[in-house]
Structure 1
Amino acid sequence: MIKAFDDGSYFVLVNNEEVEFSQTGNNLTIPYEAGNDTIEIVGSYAVPEFGTIAMIVLAVAIVSIIAITAKTRTALIPKL
Structure 2
Amino acid sequence: MTAGQLADWTRALFEGEVIDPEAVQTLTDTAFDNGDGSAEIPGWVSVGPDLLGTPVITASGAAATPGTTPSPRGSPSRA
TM class, shorter-length: under 0.3
For normalisation by structure 2, the TM-score amounts to 0.20
For normalisation by structure 1, the TM-score amounts to 0.20
Question: Larger relative CO (CA 8 A, sep 6+): 1 or 2?
Answer: 1
